[in-house]
Amino acid sequence: MCRNRCSALRNTNNGNKLNTKALIAVTVCAVLLICIVLTDLVQSRSEYSSTTIAMGTVVNFRLFGSDGEQTELGLKENLTETEEALLSHRKENSDIYRVNAASGSAVSVSKETVDFIATALEVSKKCGGVFDITVGNLTKLWDFGGDNQRIPDEEEIAKAIETVSHSSVKITDTTVITANGQSLDLGAVGKGAACDRIRNYLSATRTDSAVISVGGSLLLYGNRSFNIGIVNPENDTESMGTLKLSDTCVSTSGDYERFFVEGDKTYHHILNARTGYPAESNLSSVTVVCGSGTLSDALSTACFILGYNDSLVLLKEFDAEAVFVFKDKTVRVTDGLEKKFTLTDESFVMAE
Amino acid sequence: MKKLFGKADIFIIISVLVLSLLLFIPGIFNNNNLIATVYSDGEIIEEINLNEVEVPRTFSPKDGTEITVEKDRIRFSAACCKDELCIGSGWLSKKGQTAACLPERIVITIKGTDKTDMMTY
């Protein structure tokens, strides 16, 4: 019956029918086009970005979704809490401060602090102790970026290094025990840990996607993919390459971040926990990509100290990827990032 | 076969294309301006369209800290701390660039993104 009607239609007005079809097609296309344009507009309008200082560093927020302003307020509080209640070794009442003040005995801390410490210890164990969160006494001696930064005496370093030993830190679900006189410094993982806490916080908000930088350690949240610039070690306002990534964490460790020059030698802030001195490395920076912020922070520091070859083994253990920038301006990328990395500064070259 | 599109169809197609282009245009214009935002303690204290700065000027958001603005660029020009990292950041003239004075909690950023959404360092 339908066939009859259709053929009847065709017979009566062939030209009109074609036009109706075309008209429908065009209208559908138009509606689709307008939808695409509108969603794009709405999406860009619903971006909320801001910059602040928290945890002693610059924090950039770019939030996509609803309630951006309100979410940002919550995030600022969250960061302050990370510093003051959990990780700072300077703020009295923080978990780490209390652990250090009572070294040798059990101190009850939050579950989160235990998790961050556990992750850091795991990396220490697997990298042969070149990265270690029990370096508190050492970092106090060097005091990079502080009022008393200086090259410590050899004896001072020898004495401080006696207290560096990740294996003497014992943890349970809610307590931490360090060795007597030992001092924890979670500075190397603090920003990444903050990223992990932020991810938890965001999951309870109306944020669809976000990219947040806590002093250069990044959280990429949600499905949206972002172009991440890796800083040019020679010029901190420019990037030397980009990574296209989503839903992950990114951390970079480099010798350009904090350093001082004495005589004709430069002393940068990444200490080899085994020697007590700044890591001797042919690397300018290592950028690590992995799901956990704490882990990517710890790994980027450990890899910078270890150098390229040993890093590959370590990264495999934790299922992490990395971009290595060498002092001779060559660049190496692990297999998983090969397709996501683009070199943008022509003065750098990919290593053969 | 008759022509696929009649005059009316072509008119519709063109008007849809023009309409969608029009929708895009505000975005294109906005994106071309260099807007510098100055934050103090996390609050925006000044927003400056760097493209429209005719006369260079210097202002002081807090005692001892000075910011200098010129056409198309902005920088910290005086600081009260000893390392003066913020001055070391130099002129900011591209989208996404940031300079900060941590002791005084003052941040300058240029809004928007150039090629990258965020920088890791």
Task: Out of A188-192, B19-23, B36-40, pick the least confident.
Answer: B19-23
Q: Which positions ≥6 away from A170 have C-beta within 8 Å?
A: A176, A177
Confidence of residue A241 (pLDDT cuts 50, 70, 90): very high
Q: Which two tokens stand for residue B21?
A: 């282009």
* Domain contains B19: yes
| Residue B59 and residue B38 share a domain | yes
- Contact criterion met (CB < 8 Å) for A52 and B107: yes
Give the pair of three-digit tokens for residue A283: 């690397």
**Judgement on whether residues B66 and B88 belong to the same structural domain of the protein:** yes
Do B11 and B58 fall into the same domain?
no
Indicate if B27 and B41 belong to the same structural domain.
no
Check B16 against A257: CB less than 8 A apart. no
Give the CA distances from residue A312 to residues A102, A273, A331, B115, in Å, rounded to whole numbers and listed in that order. Answer: 37, 20, 14, 29
Mean pLDDT of chain A: 91
Instruction: State whether ipTM is beyond 0.85.
Output: no
pLDDT 10s digits, A209-235: 999 999 999 999 999 999 999 999 998
CB-nearest to B118 from A23, A29, A228 is A228
The CA distance from A138 to A162, in Å, is: 10
What pLDDT score was predicted for residue A6? 47
**Residue A157 parent element (H or E):** helix A154-161
Q: Which of B9, B102, B120 sits opposite A251 (nearest CB)?
A: B120
- Residue B116 and residue A242: Cβ atoms within 8 Å? yes
- The single-letter code of the amino acid at A77 is E
Q: Which structure tokens are listed for A213?
A: 């930088």
Are B70 and B49 in a shared domain? Answer: yes
* Confidence category of residue A10, pLDDT binned at 50, 70, 90: very low
Same domain, B24 and B45: no
Residues 83-122 of A with CB under 8 A from B: none
Number of domains observed in the structure of chain B: 2
Using a 10 angstrom Cβ sphere, with 0-12 exposed, 13-18 middle and 19 or more buried, the burial of residue A155 is exposed
> B15 and B42 in one domain?
no
Do B28 and B83 have their domain in common? Answer: no
Complete edge-to-edge strand list for the sheet that includes strand B73-78: B57-62, B65-70, B73-78
Residue B120 in any domain: the answer is no
Bridging pattern class, strands A235-245 and A47-54: unpaired
Q: Where are the domains of chain A?
A: 49-350
* A175-177/A217-221 β-pairing: unpaired
Q: Which domain holds residue B93?
A: 34-110
Contact yes or no for B94 and A237 at CB 8 A: yes
Q: What is the mean pLDDT of residues B75-82?
A: 86
Which pLDDT does position A12 carry in this prediction?
46
DSSP string, B14-51: HHHHHHHHHHHHHHHHHHHS-EEEEEETTEEEEEEEGG
Average of pLDDT values for A260-279?
93
Q: How close does chain A come to B86, measured CA to CA in Å?
A: 12
Inter-chain touch A218–B2, beta carbons under 8 Å: no
Residue B106 sits in the same domain as residue B59: yes
- Judgement on whether residues B21 and B56 belong to the same structural domain of the protein: no
- Tell me, what CATH number does B69's domain have? 2.60.320.10
Q: Which of residues 286-315 of A touch B (CB under 8 A)?
A: 287
pLDDT digits (tens, 9 = 90+) for A326-340: 999 999 999 999 999
Query: Which chain A residues have a beta carbon less than 8 Å from that of B120?
Result: 213, 216-218, 228-231, 250-252, 287
Q: CATH homologous superfamily of domain A49-350?
A: ApbE-like domains (3.10.520.10)
Residues B74 and B46 in one domain: yes
Which of B42, B83, B121 comes nearest A257 by C-beta?
B121
Q: Could you tell me if B94 and B52 lie in one domain?
A: yes
**pLDDT beyond 60 at A180:** yes
Q: Is the pLDDT of residue A267 over 60?
A: yes
